Structure 1
Amino acid sequence: MIDCGLPMAGDSIAPFTDRPVAPADIDYLFLTHAHIDHIGRVPDLIDAGFEGEILCSHPTKALLIPMLHDAMGFSKRSKDEVKRLEAAIDELSWGFEYQQSFRLNKGVRFKLGRAGHILGSSFVHFTIPNGDGKPSKVLFSGDLGCKGSPILCDPDTPDPCDLLVMESTYGNRNHEDRTERVERLEKVLRKALSDGGKVFIPAFSLGRTQELIYEIDRILSNINPGDGSPLNGIPVFVDSPLGLEITNIYASLSEFWDRESQALLKEGDHPIDFKTLFSVRSYRDHQKALTVPGPAIIIAGSGMCSGGRIIDHLEEGLGDEKNDVLFVGYQARGTLGRDILTYGPRKNGYARINGEKVFINAEVHKLAGYSAHADQKELVEWVEGMGEKPGKIRLVHGESDAQEGLKRVLEDRGYRVE
C-alpha cells in the first residue's frame, strides 16, 4: 500500500471494507512523506487490523509520530488510545536510506528517491520479478517538489519504469518565478513594518514554517545595521507548538539538507535559527504574544486560517490598519483565509471569526512562489529525466482539470497516459 492519508475538506472517506485488500492482509505500507493527506489514516488502518511494516525515509520516520500525535488530538480518541497507536506505529515503522535498493518478500525490491516536496519526501521505485527473467518496474512519484526550495535537495532523477503512477496537483499550471521570492518577501515586510504594526503570516507547521524562517533569516543576515531598515532587530514569533517541534526535528536532520543549508551551518550561520527568533510554546506565552506591540512578525498555524493560534491573532489584529496579513499559500474556498483574501481589499470588508463580525482594516498581501508542489513544467521535466519513456503513466492526486492538462502535455510528447 502506498500512503494512507486523510482526504481534503469536502472529499469523502472510503471505508477500508470497500478496498480490494483487507488491512490485515497488507504486508507493507510505504509512506512517501509526512503530510496528513498522506499519513492521516494510518491510525485507522492499524485499528482496522493492519500489522505489517511501515516503510519510509529516515526523516519521514522522525516526523511521523509528531504529525500523527497532533492529528489524533482532533479525533475522539482518548489519551490512552493515542498512546497505544503511537507505540504501535513506532514499532511497525522503519526508516531507509535514499538511492539504495532493499529486498522485500518474494524477491520484490524497492528504492527511495528524493522527491523535494518536504524534508523526507520520497518517490518509490519497485522491481517485481515475473518469473520470465524480465521484472516489472513500477514507480510511485509521491508528491514532487520544486527545484531550489530552501533546505531541501532537488528531486532526484527517476529510474526507467514500465508503469509510472504520478501526482498531478499542478498539472495544468506553472508557478510564478521563484528565484526572486526572497526579494519580494523583503519588500513586503519592509513596507508592512514601516508603520510599526504587526505582520501575521498563516503557515502550515510542516514545510512552510521552516521555509519562512530560513528566508527571513537570509533577509535579516543581509541587512546593514546602519541603513535604518524597519527590519533591524525585528522580533519574529513562531506561535505554533507543532511548528516549533517540526523545526527542531528539521534542525536535527541537517545531514538531509541541501548543500547551501549545510554550508551555512558549517560557517556558523544556522539557517533556521537567529537571535530575534522567539518560540511561543505554552498557552500562557500565546496569550502574551497576542498583546506584543509592533513592529513584529507572527508566524502561526494553520496555513488557511482554518484553526490554530493564527485565529486569535487575526481576531485581535485584523481591525488595526497598521497591521498586515501575508498569505504565502493557497487559500481554499470556505476557509477564513479565503474570506480575508476576498473581502479584505473591499471597503468595510469583514470576516466572521468565532461567530463574530471582524472588520478587515489590516492590509492583505498574497505572495506567490511558495508552493511545495512541482508545476506542470517541472513535472514534465522530471518524467523526461528518465531518459526513456515509461510503458504507461497513470495520473493521480490532482483535480480532473489538472490531470487533463498534464495528460495533454505528456501525450503531445509521445507518452502513453491513462
Structure 2
Amino acid sequence: MPYSLTHLGGECSVTGSAHLLQIKSGPIILVDCGLSMGNDPSVPFSEWPVEPADIDYLFLTHAHIDHIGRVPDLIDAGFTGEILCSHPTKALLVPMLHDAMGFSNRSKDEGRRLESVIEELSWGFEYQQSFRLNKGVRFKLGRAGHILGSCFIHFTIPGEPKPCRILFSGDLGCRNSPILCDPDPPDACDLLIMESTYGDRNHEARDDRIERLETALNRALADGGKVFIPAFSLGRTQELIYEIDRILSAQGLRDTAGQGSALQQIPVFVDSPLGLEITNIYSSLSEFWDQESKSLFKEGDHPIDFKTLFAVKSYRDHQKALTIPGPSVVIAGSGMCTGGRIIDHLEAGLADAKNDVFFVGYQAKGTLGRQILKYGPRANGYAWINGEKVYINAKLYKLGGYSAHADQHELVQWVEEMPEKPGMIKLVHGEEEARSALQKVLEDRGYRL
C-alpha cells in the first residue's frame, strides 16, 4: 500500500477532525486540524506519529472550528507547510481563527502574528479542477454543500499497477440548503473516508422548513416573549437570516392583499460580532451562492438582509440587548451553547416561561445545549450557567430540517452517485450509534467497510 492513514481526531466522535495521510516516498498530508468540543477526545501533538514540522500540506475541508480550531497550535508546534482549501474557506479562515484565538491565552500580538502566518501559508483553489502536489500526487476539490466553501477532497497517488485514489468527504451537507450549491457527485475511489454524523436517522422534510419556522415564531412570540436561537456564526446564522427574509417577503405580499403579518415589526438581533463579520463575507462571495440566491440578489432582494435585522456589535450594545423587552428574536453563538453571547441570554432568559429557545443544530455530548435539552423537559429542570443554577421554564423547540449535515438517506445517495463502488469505506465523524447504523445500511447494499 503506497500510504498509511492515521486518525488523530474525529474518528469516533463528531468534533476534532484530523486525519494524517503519509504517502510513501511522497508528501505528508494532514486533512483538517479541528478543535474537540464537549467530551470528544483530542490527541496531543506529542503523541502524533510525525512532527508538525514534517507535515507538507494541511488541507481544510471547511472553516468550522471543529475542523480548523487547532491550526494556530499546529503552527506554534512547528508546522510551516502549505494550507490548501477552497477560495471561500480561504476568505473565512482568518476571521474564524481570530475569534477562536480570542478565547485562548494568547496575547493580541501573538494572535496577530499567527493570523499573518496563516494568511501567508494558505491558498484557495477552484472546485472541480485537478491540481498537482509534489511527487506526482494530485488532488481535486468538490462542493460538499455543508457551508459556503466546504469541500470533499479526492487524492490520486501514483503507484503500480495503477494509481491509488483516496476521497475524504469532509462534512457533507443537505440538498436544497439556502445559499449553498448542492453537493457535487463524487469521483470513484479506492478508499472513502466518510462522515457519519447523522448516519442513524433521517431529517424532517426540508420542503416546508420555512413554513414550520414561521409557525413556530408566530406561536412563540404571541405572548410577548423572546426567542433565543443558538446558532453557529458560520453557516447557520446566515441560513436563519435568509429564511426569516423569505418569511418577511412572503408576509409583505400578504400585507398587500390585506391579510396582515405578525412578524413585520418584530426586531431580529444578530448578537454575534463574528456572525456579523461572516455574514458580510458571505455577501462578498455571491459568485459561490446557489442560483436561487443569485436570482433574488439580481432582482434587488438581498437574501441575507432585511429592514428589521439589527446588528449587535459592541459589548455595550450586547448589554443593552439583554434588557430589551420582547417580543424579539435573538440569534447568537455558539451553536452548542459552549460559549459566546448566547450564554448571557440564556442565563437571563431561561427562567422566564414567556421565552422560547429554538435549537436548530446538533448538540454534542457534554455541551450546555445538550444539558438544556435533556433536563429542560423535567419538572424543576435546571442547568448550570456561569456557576449559577438556572431553572428552565422557557419552552424548548428542536426544529428539524436545519442540520447542515446530510442524513442517512442523503449520505447513502451521495455514495451511490459514484461511478463505481469504492474499494473500501471507513466511517468517521459520528457517535457509535450513528456509525453502526450507517455501516449496516451500506453493507446491506454491498459496500465494504
TM-score bracket for this pair, using the shorter chain length: over 0.9
Q: Kindly report the root-mean-square deviation, in angstroms, between the aligned alpha carbons of the 2 structures.
A: 1.6
Contact 1:280 1:286 in 2 (8 A): yes
Are 1:263 and 2:263 matched, yes or no?
no
Match of 2:129 in 1: 100
Match of residue 28 from structure 1: 57
What is aligned with 2:246? 218
Equivalent in the alignment of 2:139: 110
In structure 2, distance between residues paired with 1:47 and 1:92 = 14
Aligned-pair CA distance for 1:322: 2.4
CA gap of 1:68–1:384, structure 2 versus 1, over 3 A, is same
Give the Cα–Cα distance (whole angstroms) in 1 for the partners of residues 430 and 196 of structure 2.
5
Q: Are 2:66 and 1:37 equivalent residues in the alignment?
A: yes
Which residue pairs with 2:319 in the alignment? 287
Deviations for 1:112-137, whole angstroms, at most 9, x for unmatched residues? Answer: 000011110000111221154x3221
Q: Show the 5 A alignment for 1:101-180.
A: 101-130=130-159, 132=161, 134-180=162-208
Give per-residue Cα distances to partners, 1:334-362, cap 9 Å, x unaligned: 43323333343444433333223333332
Alpha carbons 2:337, 2:343 under 8 Å: kept? yes
Q: TM-score normalised to the size of structure 1? A: 0.96
Which residue number corresponds to residue 430 of structure 2? 398
1:375 and 2:407 correspond:
yes
CA drift of 1:307 comes to 1.8
Q: Which amino acid aligns with 2:112?
A: K
Aligned to 1:182: 210
Residue 366 of structure 1: CA displacement? 1.7
SS at match of 2:31: coil
Q: In the alignment, which residue of structure 1 is the partner of 2:98?
A: 69
1:263-311 superposed Cα distances (whole Å, 9 cap, x missing partner):
1110110110011100000011111111222221111111222221112
- In the other structure, the counterpart of 1:90 is 119
- Gap change, CA 1:163 and 1:360, over 3 Å in 2: closer
**Aligned to 1:95, what secondary structure does the other structure show?**
strand
In 2, Cα distance between the equivalents of 1:169 and 1:261? 27
Instruction: Name the CA shift for 1:181/1:80 in 2 (closer, same or farther; >3 Å).
Output: same
Three-state SS of the structure 1 residue aligned to 2:166 is: strand
Q: Equivalences for 1:222-241 in 2 at 5 Å?
A: 222-223=250-251, 224-225=254-255, 226-241=258-273
Is the contact made by 1:190 and 1:229 (CA closer than 8 Å) also made in structure 2? no
Q: Distance in 2 between matches of 1:379 and 1:413?
A: 13
Match of 1:310 among 335, 342, 355: 342
Give the gaps of 5 or more residues in structure 2: 1-29
Report the 3-state secondary structure (helix = DSSP H, G, I; strand = E; otherwise coil) of the residue aligned with 2:276.
Answer: helix
Query: Which moves more between the two structures, 123-132 or 352-361?
Result: 352-361
SS at match of 1:55: strand
- Percent identity, aligned pairs only? 78
Q: Is contact 1:57-1:98 (8 Å) kept? A: yes
CA distance in 1, matches of 2:378, 2:412: 39
Structure 1: 4+ residue segments shifted above 4 A:
none
In structure 2, relative to structure 1, the CA distance for the partners of 1:321 and 1:228 (3 Å cut) is: farther
Q: How many residues were matched structurally?
A: 416
Q: Which residue of 2 aligns with 1:337?
A: 369
Q: Deviations over 1:351-384 (max 9, x none)?
A: 3332233333322222111111111111111111
